Structure 1
Amino acid sequence: MRFTDSTFYPDVSPGYLVRVIHQMSVAAIDKTLAADGLTATQWMTLVSLYFDHADTCAGLARKMAHDKGAMTRLIDQMEANGWVTRQRDDADRRVVRLSLTEAGRAAAVAAKHKVIACWNGFLADWSDTEVEDLVKMLQRLRRTMEESDACAA
């Protein structure tokens, strides 16, 4: 299916659907992790650090599509909670590297199990093949978007 003026509306728009699904998942994860004193955004940051996706505020902001200023404030909170440490880079003192503390690693792992249960609940009536296909399609879309300049003016 290719979109046309007559076939493009919110319920079939990939952007709209992904955005709504993201908002719903963040709300569910916020609720799931509330008792642990974690938000979904904090958890995503912990996991990004845990899996070495980035090690600076700017890198995390890029990787997570998050505002740099908001990311700095988030890291401030996470540092105050004892989950993250900051350290100046030896080679370039302008760069501040982030790393998880032991408490941060423990929080990331504990939260991961709750998030897994949450997603397994959402996908309970999906077959393993359907879940695998969904993930493959989303990964393909991400790669296509990363490599494309289709929307360039």
Structure 2
Amino acid sequence: MLFTDSSFSPETSPGYLVRMIHQMNVAAVDRALAEDGLTAMQWTTLVSLFFRHADTCGGLARKLGHDKGAMTRLIDQMEAKGWVSRQRDDEDRRLIRLTLTPAGTETALAAKRKVIACWNGFLADWSDADVAEMIAMLQRLRHTMEEKMAEESDACAA
């Protein structure tokens, strides 16, 4: 099905639906992690460092769709809590690499268990096959969008 003027509304818009799901997830994760002094944004930053999706403030900002200045302030807070350490890159002294401290790793793993509990609660009445299909579809959409955006970027550079 391709969208038309008559078939496209907020309730059928993938962007709108993903945005609403994201907002509800952030609110739920914020509540679940509040007693640990952790926010959803701090959690996503910790987990991004844990899985090595990025290791600089700029890289994290790009990966998480966050402002570089705000990301720097967030890293400052996380460093003050003892969760993240900064080291200058040996080969390029302009770069500051970020790593989780042992306390940061412990915090990330404890938070991961709470986030898993949130998602298990949301999906409690879904079958394993439904969950696997949803994840596969979202991964497929992400891959398609990444390819299309790369093509557009390449076309603009030419």
TM superposition score normalised by structure 1: 0.96
Structure 1: which 4+ aligned runs deviate by more than 6 Å?
Answer: none
1:124 matched to which residue of 2?
Answer: 124
Structure 1 distance, partners of 2:134, 2:18, is 12
Shift of 1:69: 1.2
Deviation, structure 1 residue 149 = 4.0
Counterpart Cα distance in 2 of 1:151 and 1:105: 37
Aligned pair count reads: 153
After superposition, give the CA deviation of every residue in 1:35-62 in whole Å (9 maximum; x if it has no partner).
0000011001000001111100011111
Question: Alpha-carbon deviations, 1:54-99, whole Å to 9, x = none?
Answer: 1000111111111111111110110011100111001111000000
SS across alignment from 1:110: helix
Deviations 1:104-130 (A, max 9, x none): 000000000000000000000000000
Which residue does the alignment assign to 2:107? 107
Residue 8 of structure 2 aligns to a residue in which SS?
coil
User: What is the Cα deviation at residue 146 of structure 1?
Assistant: 0.4
Please say if 1:62 is aligned against 2:62.
Answer: yes
How high is the TM-score relative to the length of structure 2? 0.93
Shift in CA distance, 120/90, structure 1 to aligned 2, threshold 3 Å: same
In structure 2, C-alpha distance between the alignment counterparts of 1:54 and 1:150, rounded to whole Å: 19
> Hey, what's the Cα distance between the residues in 1 that align with 2:3 and 2:72?
39
Question: Partners in 2 of 1:65 and 1:110 — Cα distance?
Answer: 24
The offset of 1:2, in angstroms, is 1.0
RMSD: 1.5
| 1:151 CA drift (Å) | 10
The alignment partner of 1:146 has SS state of helix
Q: Which amino acid in structure 2 is aligned with residue 146 of structure 1? A: E
Corresponding residue for residue 76 of structure 2 = 76
Q: Which runs of 5+ in 2 are unaligned?
A: none
Give SS of 2:146's match.
Answer: helix
Q: What's the secondary structure of 2:7's corresponding residue? A: coil
Q: Which blocks of at least 5 consecutive residues in structure 1 are unaligned?
A: none
- Determine whether 1:10 maps to 2:10: yes
Q: Distance in 1 between matches of 2:131 and 2:150?
A: 28
Percent identity, aligned pairs only, is 72
Q: What is the distance in 2 between the residues matched to 1:61 and 1:133?
A: 29
